[in-house]
Amino acid sequence: MKSASTGLRRGRVLRVATLAVTASLLLVSCGNRVDDAGGGDAAAAESCVDTSGDSIKVGFVNSLSGTMAISEQTVHDSLQLAAKQINDDGGVLGKQLDIVSEDGASEPTVFAEKAGKLIGDDCVAAMFGGWTSSSRKAMLPIVEGSGSLLFYPVQYEGLESSPNIFYTGATTNQQIVPALDYLAEQGVESLHLVGSDYVFPRTANRIITQYAEAHDIEITGEDYAPLGHTDFSTITNKVRQADADAVFNTLNGDSNVAFFKEYRNAGLSPDDMPVMSVSIAEEEVEGIGARNLEGQLTAWNYYQTVETPENEQFVEAFRDEYGDQRVTSDPMEAAYTSLFLWKEMVEQADSFATEDIRAAAGGVTFDAPEGTVTVDGDNQHIAKTSRIGEIGDDGLIHTVWDSGEPIEPDPYLRGYDWADDLSDG
């Protein structure tokens, strides 16, 4: 067991490291690629994780306030459900999970600060959370510098892998590329791009533009709004005037509420110009209103309506815990799955140590609500089934296409000739 002075000393070291990371976040959030080897330059700090008792600490870091709370509160709820189920089933290596929760407050610098606290002061064995790519990139040097683990549950733009992060949401070839393939198969020949102004949408749209060039699809325009932006009259007018066959939407958080209400008010409809969204799930549908979204398209790996025995149990358990009115969604399911994958890795390794877990991770599987998922030990992403959904008048998303089997993760798009200059590195 580590002494109290060791834990306090390590906490001070990580707080200093966090301040340094915060100062460099403008560089980090520009979308710089993390090399496959990862690892950063900083030497890993001595771990203060205490494995001597009958419990083990894990950290949840989600935005419980700010513009992303509409999405991230739900992820926090599903993580709590997974922890409760694991504890009720005997814990991990016989130890009960002791949860320490922190609010990332929709700000990357706060995520970095809270990650440093969870690792250095609370001595958690692993962290689970983050939503925006900016929040993930803010935490990345903290977990690499400390030799800790982060399980990130949300689809993202790819072009990254870190030895200290497990990515349990979709990477690009499991969400964005299948969405583009689907639109192309439906005869779409022109796209207008709308997104929030940060890492994920800008990088995703760079990938979409290269795909479009290779598939003779015209990009009629590319518009961005700050996170939390609520006035979409100008952007909607641009979308209407562009008269594209479809819109590809990478807005995040409560900006989607304002965008789709303005979209409908402008007389635009999915019959005339459908919107393919990659960050709207069931919880956001409820916030935006089904009447504003009926008929619109989404690309994810999980919907509440997925028909698997594991999903039936998941939805029932979630409603039992939080109320019959609550819905489940892809990021919630990926977060829920992440805790069980960590449990499987720990028990496979018979250890809570990062290096032992990484060595044991490859090939670890879990029968998740979305279907069976498998960890790729090389890039620490997971194989996932891709699904295109249509939003119904019931507020749920119904699958209109799926890949039939899990797609192996290819975060650098090395398997696609049109992405050659993206996947270098």
**Three-state DSSP string of 306-330:** CCCHHHHHHHHHHHHHHCCCCCCCH
Instruction: Give the architecture-level CATH label for domain 4-170+327-382.
Output: 3-Layer(aba) Sandwich (3.40)
d(CA 276, CA 217): 15
pLDDT in tens, the chain (425 residues): 444 444 444 444 455 444 444 434 433 333 333 344 344 443 455 789 999 999 999 999 999 999 999 889 999 999 999 999 999 999 999 999 999 999 999 999 999 999 999 999 999 999 999 999 999 999 999 999 999 999 999 999 999 999 999 999 999 999 999 999 999 999 999 999 999 999 999 999 999 999 999 999 999 999 999 988 999 999 999 999 999 999 999 998 889 999 999 999 999 999 999 999 999 999 889 889 999 999 999 999 999 999 999 999 999 999 999 999 999 999 999 999 999 999 999 999 999 999 999 999 999 999 999 999 999 999 999 999 999 999 999 999 999 999 999 999 999 999 999 998 775 44
The answer to whether the CB of 50 falls within 8 A of the CB of 123 is yes
d(CA 234, CA 232): 6
Which tokens hold the place of 345? 């890795």
CATH number listed for the domain at residues 173-302+385-419: 3.40.50.2300
Three-state DSSP class for residue 367: strand
Predicted TM-score of the model (pTM): 0.89
- Which segments of the chain belong to CATH 3.40.50.2300? 4-170+327-382, 173-302+385-419
